[in-house]
């Protein structure tokens, strides 16, 4: 078997740290209520209460009165309470990080984690696929996959071309490259060209932006909406199956022991896609063997560990029926 179950202490630490992170996530859903500031502005001899937001946006709430004074007092109190709780939860997470590291749960590459957080802060829709998806599956399954199956110096970021307008809107005038560079300023396009989709940092870690396409040789509407000098997600025809598959989430821990919400594709979709890739005759032999090994791991996790996943036809509808039949026929080879 290519993984080992977590021990009781490691499981306890993972559960406690994950629940604490989820409490922080829930707390931050209220950020919009305390965004910006409130202050008095004197206009023609009279004070007016203004609500100011990031980016210079502001609007008047009304002239000074008992009601507006109460509004400002409540806002200031709520904002102070929000900051206090936010700081407390973050400090608790930092303390838990030591226990996470001691139990060797700090698995996700730190460089990749920082890129993901940079994209999440901008509310850019994406999913992580490829080898890094295994971190989400092992976290939900409560196991530790053998390191040789996880070692990778790159990360595949899947973006749905159908959400192009939403992605561009979330960028707010910035570029995908500049958002990635916010996590590490040494990231730069690896080569220059119209179809540049990959950025690498000074240590050789790569981030590949990918999407679905009907014709990999043409630029999609989504790519055309991006800035001329920006990274352009490369279109891969078979990714239409992954795009159409359900999402899968888990809380993982980066190398510092800090939590990260990782969104990827359903492990059944991962299994089918890896099986398909691992049997393509034109794929590099080393990658083909790695794909097949990862398909076996996903199959074992689904059979033995992830039994709580409900039966769904969403994955079957997304992938060709013939491919599903081929995988089912090869389950004995997958050791499940």
**The pLDDT of residue 330:** 59
Q: Give me the residues paired with residue 121 across strands.
A: none
* pLDDT tens track for 211-269: 987 666 666 667 778 887 889 888 888 888 888 888 999 999 999 999 999 999 999 88
Task: Identify the burial level of 310 via C-beta atoms within 10 angstroms of its C-beta, where 0-12 means exposed, 13-18 middle and 19 or more buried.
Answer: exposed
**The pLDDT of residue 335:** 42
Could you tell me whether strands 247-253 and 234-236 are parallel, antiparallel, or unpaired per DSSP bridges? unpaired
* pLDDT < 50 stretches in the chain: 333-336
Instruction: Give the C-alpha separation, 276 to 287, whole Å.
Output: 12
**The pLDDT of residue 38:** 93
Do 15 and 139 contact (CB within 8 A), yes or no? no
**Phi, psi for 264 (deg, rounded to 5):** -140, -160
Q: How many residues appear in the chain?
A: 336
Residue 16's nearest CA partner among 90, 136, 99 is: 99
- Predicted TM-score (pTM) of the model is 0.88
**The pLDDT of residue 281:** 87
Q: At what angle do helices 267-277 and 133-141 cross, to 10 degrees?
A: 140
Q: Is the dihedral of CA 17, 257, 25, 133 positive or negative?
A: negative
**The pLDDT of residue 71:** 96
Query: How open is the CA angle 139-296-233, to the nearest 5 degrees?
Result: 70
Structure tokens, 29 = 């859903």
**The pLDDT of residue 147:** 93
Residue 257's nearest CA partner among 140, 92, 138 is: 92
**The pLDDT of residue 95:** 96
Instruction: Give the C-alpha separation, 221 to 49, whole Å.
Output: 44
Q: Give me the residues paired with residue 261 across strands.
A: 251
């Amino acid at each position: 078997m290519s993984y080992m179950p977590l021990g009781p202490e490691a499981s306890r630490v993972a559960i406690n740290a994950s629940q604490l992170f989820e409490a922080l996530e829930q707390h931050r859903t209220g950020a919009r209520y305390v965004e910006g500031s409130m202050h008095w502005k004197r206009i023609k001899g009279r004070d007016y209460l203004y609500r100011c937001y990031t980016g210079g946006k502001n609007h008047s709430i009304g002239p000074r009165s008992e009601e507006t004074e109460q509004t400002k007092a409540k806002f200031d109190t709520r904002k102070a309470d929000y900051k206090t709780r936010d700081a407390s939860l973050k400090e608790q997470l930092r303390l838990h990080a030591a226990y996470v590291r001691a139990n060797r749960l700090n698995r996700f590459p730190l460089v990749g984690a920082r890129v993901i957080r940079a994209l999440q802060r901008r509310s850019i829709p994406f999913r992580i696929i490829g080898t890094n998806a295994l971190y989400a599956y092992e976290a939900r399954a409560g196991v530790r996959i053998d390191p040789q199956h996880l070692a990778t110096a790159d990360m595949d970021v899947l973006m749905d071309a159908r959400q192009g307008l939403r992605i561009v809107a979330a960028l707010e005038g910035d570029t995908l490259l500049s958002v990635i560079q916010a996590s590490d300023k040494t990231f730069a396009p690896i080569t220059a060209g119209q179809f540049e989709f990959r950025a690498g940092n000074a240590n050789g870690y790569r981030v590949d932006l990918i999407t679905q396409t009907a014709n990999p040789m043409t630029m999609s509407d989504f790519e055309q909406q991006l800035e001329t000098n920006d990274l352009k997600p490369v279109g891969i025809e078979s990714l239409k199956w992954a795009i159409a598959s359900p999402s899968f989430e888990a809380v993982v821990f980066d190398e510092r022991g800090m939590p990260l919400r990782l969104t990827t594709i359903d492990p059944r979709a991962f299994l089918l896609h890896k099986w398909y890739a691992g049997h393509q005759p034109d794929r590099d032999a080393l990658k083909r063997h790695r794909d097949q090994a990862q398909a076996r791991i996903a199959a074992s996790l689904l059979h033995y560990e992830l039994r709580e996943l409900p039966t769904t036809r969403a994955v079957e509808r997304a992938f060709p029926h013939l491919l599903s039949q081929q995988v089912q026929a090869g389950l004995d080879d997958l050791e499940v």
